[in-house]
A and B are shown apart, each in its own frame.
Chain A
Amino acid sequence: MTINNTWSIDSIKELLSTISDPEIPAISIVELGIVRDVLLTGELVEVVITPTYSGCPAMKMIEDDIRRVLKEAGITSVAVTTIFSPAWTTDWLSEAAKSKMKQYGIAPPAHVAVPHLLQINFPKIICPQCNSTETTIQSEFGSTACKAYYFCRSCRQAFEYFKPF
């Protein structure tokens, strides 16, 4: 199914892949798993998104970017729907996305989302700069809710860790 015989679901997803996450410009909102679905009904394009964290302040900007990018491509009949379930999880990140994250300087999630409700121990995180394991947590929360703040005792640089979620 296409809009104006021009746009298909796949081509629209490709367009949305040009939208970077506002906080991690190396990764697109599609790679991050924020875009869950694209639905075509007649002339209407419905983009279904899901928030990462409940209070993520970037969601409004992401919605605005979606509308802007689609408008620039000539698609003006747009609906952006937010769903909560299934809950966004770092398990949805591809290895390619994680590798881009690391190159950008953010340590990617080291394991699957934490299964134990009351676990309070920290895992050993690898420094994205020098690959040392001599790292120590500085704070559970970094510049955004999704990242923790770490320090590498080996190369003596601070870095952020994208928390398993």
Chain B
Amino acid sequence: MNTVELTRDERAVRQTSGPVLGMVIFVASEAMFFATFFGAYFTIYSVNPVWPPAGFPRLEPGLATVLTVVLVASSVTLQVGVRAIRRDRTRAMLVWLGLTILLGAGFLGLQLYDYSLLGFGVRDGIFGSLFYVMTGLHMAHVFGGVVFLVLVLAQGLGGQLTHAHHDSMEAGSIYWHFVDLVWICLFITFYVVGLS
């Protein structure tokens, strides 16, 4: 190996941030976790002749569309916050981050409200099992994300985040976008595909 290759190798090593790389790998793991549930969903979907099975209503996408808009909007606000801290505009970042947290909390509240409107439960058949376990685990992830972002906000309020040092914000945003993406997959699976 010559000097050029050596330098390239070492530069690649030093230019990645540990927490960001760690979060990317962790998100890959989470992707396998949710992929398993989607695999289970479509396996069961394919062995059942009628879908949704008898006794289950076709899900109305109205409120779920609002949920989708809220979560996608929260991804946008978070990314604007990330861009702000990259330019060292800490105050702007705090505002956008706070807004993201509010949207996340709003998503959780709205989804619980949505649950209360549905006329079926987890014990009413396989469709109920899949729906509540998959969306419930996603909700747990949104909750975890909100907690993470609140901790980042606390760091920011304590003046610990600068444009040179904000790995927690970058890592948090990667996680948050992933959770958003999972919701979009859930929305398509349960509300859009179910419509036809």
- Is B one of A's binding partners? no
Residues of B within 8 A of A (CB): none
